[in-house]
Structure 1
């Protein structure tokens, strides 16, 4: 394998964090790389390619239509612009200034998250005025219903492990509220693995990343009802111009979707469990560490290792171990949302074949060094 990062003086990474933007999201099948390469060698009428991509993507999602994007974050801005302008050019050209327009986007307080940037900021890029309802740990249907007014353009639901999982109004209830009030609902499903579920639930627009679960190049798409998808595409005459996706990445996305549909997901899950079970056994041999297996908090079929760092025994806390691992060469990146509680999570999905051994040895070596200091 070409060590392209070492050649320019950038460290390699052992990624035990997940399909994360800060680490380049995911690795690609060679067939995706070849598709990108060959697409770069020819010209194409971009409008024709975008329309053909609409047709192909929609077969994978069972939706009426689909719009390619630069990524899921761009999808939030574009869907917001679509529900505000409804595809009218004179309004498109005014965005993100939506003064005087029907521009309020309702989201639950527990969904107003930061994923590297904030959801409200992405909505604002599309001209949306964010209306957060309820509290961070409790939202009721009444909060949503009573916030709807003549300025409401859409409801938005964030399906993410970053979002608060308890005390929120369900997607089913939000869809019912939206449609009862003749409003569209947008679902941000960036990292979700099921490409049909939310369309089958009657969501109007669903946003996916092309580079996360699908393992394509930098890309994404919005899939949903034809009326709204048409309005999304029209945004390329406005704010989406700054978020356009190139021909190579569209072709790479289409190839990745083809491969994704044929993946043996059961075998991938079995491999995840094999790795985390082995790591659990090995880490539990070390005094001061307690390891267990934990399923993804958002309900996806993802299994991770949850490692508790006992500061009283080891003499350092989880944050210190995390910082030390990230300074290694190769750097080791873990999943650290609960480091303040003393936990580190290890996601097996991004590990290359056999890399779990290097991961274990690097962690144990780092622990020994920290104990000596």
Structure 2
């Protein structure tokens, strides 16, 4: 029995992904042990934060880093940093940035909702959101023409949630930022390559510690040393209510040190999802195929298309039955409104794809008999 079941909570099978709403990742034994030991000991927090910055720098190729309690906190802290600089009075004033250089330019198709909105996180940090272009089309001129003497940074969101067509690429936006001597920030929360954007020349990059890294609930910022020092200083300001504890930092550091040794398991993902599709191939009303992640990451999911007339239930009805059962089975449901569900193999424990297939069969059999 899991600790959550001992609390009286339902068992969860997470086939949705590294989702915050489901607890993000299940950590390794080494990370769990680091969290346990840290929780039972003491440390100088400032010294720990600086050390964590060095570790983040080592594994990202950046000059320095700053641990956070999550990527969303990373957005707020980063935005506050480019507005306040190293000025403690301004740091203590945030998010009130009236009269300061506080405009954050973002492409309209990247102003997304991830559980909260990107715009709200920017505002929490004192930023004024300036959307440019349209949801499916942004020209370089839109970005150039939005720059004023109030522009504090250009902000790019690398996410499967964002519109993938019609946006200006990172390279273009980065060049515009450099030409105007404006900080360029990338929110790469769920990305797997922790060095890519630093190598490209980004000033500041934000990651989740609980997604691709498979660390505890945490996040980290990496980039130019001057900005990372200011980011850490935000813990005297808006960072205070979103501070990360010693346990989270210890787990984050341990996960970062393990990350280079993680093996690419794309073949295993495809194999497991192929077996799932084979188990569902004769179920009336279902079509199951393997699809790569929309943002181009090495993630291969089983996509289940539900024909409600043949299956006896809509995708929404099937999803509801799965989520309200015990165990509760959570599938990826970004396209449930058009009859598509998906199974993400990364968070699945051994054999859980078989439970998912048998449960789907059982539910649809019931629906077709009623």
Q: TM-score range by the shorter chain?
A: over 0.9
C-alpha separation between the residues in 2 aligned to 1:42 and 1:5? Answer: 25
> 1:165-195, CA deviations, whole angstroms, 9 ceiling, x for partnerless residues?
0000001111001111100111001010000
C-alpha separation between the residues in 2 aligned to 1:22 and 1:346? Answer: 16
C-alpha separation between the residues in 2 aligned to 1:234 and 1:8? Answer: 38
Counterpart of 1:229 in structure 2 is 228
Tell me the C-alpha RMSD between the 2 structures: 0.8
- Residue 341 of structure 2 aligns to a residue whose secondary structure is strand
C-alpha separation between the residues in 1 aligned to 2:100 and 2:367? Answer: 58
C-alpha separation between the residues in 1 aligned to 2:363 and 2:107? Answer: 41
Say if 1:371 and 1:87 are closer, same or farther in 2 by CA, change over 3 A. Answer: farther
C-alpha separation between the residues in 2 aligned to 1:9 and 1:98? Answer: 45
Equivalences for 1:6-85 in 2 at 5 Å?
6-85=5-84
Counterpart of 1:315 in structure 2 is 312
Q: Answer with 275-284 or 17-26: which moved more.
A: 275-284
Please tell me whether the aligned partners of residues 87 and 235 of structure 1 are also in contact (alpha carbons under 8 angstroms).
no
- Residue 250 of structure 1 aligns to a residue whose secondary structure is helix
- Residue 154 of structure 1 aligns to a residue whose secondary structure is strand
Does residue 192 of structure 2 align to residue 178 of structure 1? no
What's the CA shift for 1:269? 1.2
Does residue 329 of structure 2 align to residue 369 of structure 1? no
C-alpha separation between the residues in 1 aligned to 2:74 and 2:307? Answer: 42
- Residue 187 of structure 1 aligns to a residue whose secondary structure is strand
Counterpart of 1:292 in structure 2 is 289
C-alpha separation between the residues in 2 aligned to 1:163 and 1:269? Answer: 23
Please tell me whether the aligned partners of residues 155 and 178 of structure 1 are also in contact (alpha carbons under 8 angstroms).
yes
Please tell me whether the aligned partners of residues 83 and 101 of structure 2 are also in contact (alpha carbons under 8 angstroms).
yes
C-alpha separation between the residues in 2 aligned to 1:240 and 1:142? Answer: 34
What's the CA shift for 1:220? 0.7
What's the CA shift for 1:315? 2.6
Counterpart of 1:334 in structure 2 is 331
Equivalences for 1:1-373 in 2 at 5 Å?
2-265=1-264, 268-373=265-370
C-alpha separation between the residues in 2 aligned to 1:49 and 1:252? Answer: 12
C-alpha separation between the residues in 1 aligned to 2:12 and 2:273? Answer: 19
Please tell me whether the aligned partners of residues 218 and 252 of structure 2 are also in contact (alpha carbons under 8 angstroms).
yes
C-alpha separation between the residues in 2 aligned to 1:167 and 1:337? Answer: 20
- Residue 186 of structure 2 aligns to a residue whose secondary structure is strand
What's the CA shift for 1:258? 1.3
Task: Report the number of matched residues.
Answer: 370
- Residue 146 of structure 2 aligns to a residue whose secondary structure is coil
**TM-score, L = length of structure 1:** 0.98
C-alpha separation between the residues in 1 aligned to 2:216 and 2:25? Answer: 8
- Residue 146 of structure 1 aligns to a residue whose secondary structure is helix
> 1:68-102, CA deviations, whole angstroms, 9 ceiling, x for partnerless residues?
11100000000000000012111111110000000
Please tell me whether the aligned partners of residues 313 and 364 of structure 2 are also in contact (alpha carbons under 8 angstroms).
no
C-alpha separation between the residues in 1 aligned to 2:49 and 2:234? Answer: 13
C-alpha separation between the residues in 1 aligned to 2:180 and 2:87? Answer: 22
Please tell me whether the aligned partners of residues 14 and 330 of structure 1 are also in contact (alpha carbons under 8 angstroms).
yes
Q: Answer with 313-322 or 19-28: which moved more.
A: 313-322
C-alpha separation between the residues in 1 aligned to 2:13 and 2:363? Answer: 14
C-alpha separation between the residues in 2 aligned to 1:371 and 1:4? Answer: 37
C-alpha separation between the residues in 1 aligned to 2:50 and 2:242? Answer: 17
- Residue 107 of structure 1 aligns to a residue whose secondary structure is strand
Unaligned ranges ≥5, structure 2 = none
Please tell me whether the aligned partners of residues 312 and 364 of structure 2 are also in contact (alpha carbons under 8 angstroms).
no
Unaligned ranges ≥5, structure 1 = none
- Residue 138 of structure 1 aligns to a residue whose secondary structure is coil
C-alpha separation between the residues in 1 aligned to 2:53 and 2:104? Answer: 26
